[in-house]
Amino acid sequence: MASRKTMIFAAAVLAVAAALAAVRWLPVLRADKPEVVTLTAAPFHGAVVDPAVRAPQIELLDHRERPFDLHAETSKGNVVVLFFGYTSCPDVCPTTLAHHKQVKQLMGDLAQRVRFVMVSVDPERDSRQRMAQYVEAFDPDFIGLTGSLEELKPVWDAYNVVPRKEEVPGSALGYAVSHPAFTYVVDLQGNVRLVHFLGMPADAVVEDLTALLNERA
């Protein structure tokens, strides 16, 4: 179920990594009034969403059929690292989850307050069993969210994720699915606070997550 504020993200946001301090995000829309937010770098390593935007709610069953509630997680004092991908992805997804594994290891005990979440963009192939095998191969604490098209599409729409099938002739995969190659970070207030781009150093991500966790201290 989407929140009152839904976010429209540009696919071109990937191109801003080299110029974060002066980049304008596409409008974040409310039903009654458009707003414009900006991505800036300071005081974090990742791109800061300014002003912070309430993260659209996500309520789905995880890969072990346990209820996942995004806002409940943040209200319990957890930061959520949110990525959209699929288990048959040949490059971006395994690279991202391996990176998240490294971040989690570097965080030590603080990692207990971070939820690393992958939302499927390929419900046709990503059963819960397959998602469980995939995310737990990287870390048993990682959370995989999948479901039917009807369950996932409202989440995609809320975050302006537009999966597109791309046929791969001669490949055993059959088709690939386009999806964002960056990660959203939801803070303790339930706001989308940062965008982390593919290739960010793990220690920089650790510093960002630690800073967010310390904000309530």
Question: What's the token pair of residue 171?
Answer: 């490949």
Residue 102's pLDDT is 98
Instruction: Choose between 217 and 52: higher pLDDT.
Output: 52
Q: In whole numbers, what is the pLDDT of the chain averaged over residues?
A: 84
Residue 169's pLDDT is 79
Contact in structure between 79 and 70 (CB atoms under 8 Å)? no
Peptide bond before 51: cis, by omega within 30 degrees of 0?
Answer: yes
Residue 6's pLDDT is 39
What architecture (CATH level 2) is domain 53-216? Answer: 3-Layer(aba) Sandwich (3.40)
Q: What whole-number distance in Å separates Cα of residue 169 and Cα of residue 179?
A: 19
Residue 31's pLDDT is 32
- Domain-by-domain residue ranges, the chain? 53-216
* Mean pLDDT (whole number) for 81-105: 97
Where does 72-180 show beta strands of DSSP type E?
79-85, 114-120, 143-145, 164-167, 175-178
Which tens digit of pLDDT belongs to each residue from 132-160?
999 999 999 999 999 999 999 999 999 98
Contact in structure between 86 and 177 (CB atoms under 8 Å)? yes
Q: Would you call 34 exposed, middle or buried from its count of C-beta atoms within 10 A (0-12, 13-18, 19+)?
A: exposed
**How much is the pTM?**
0.82
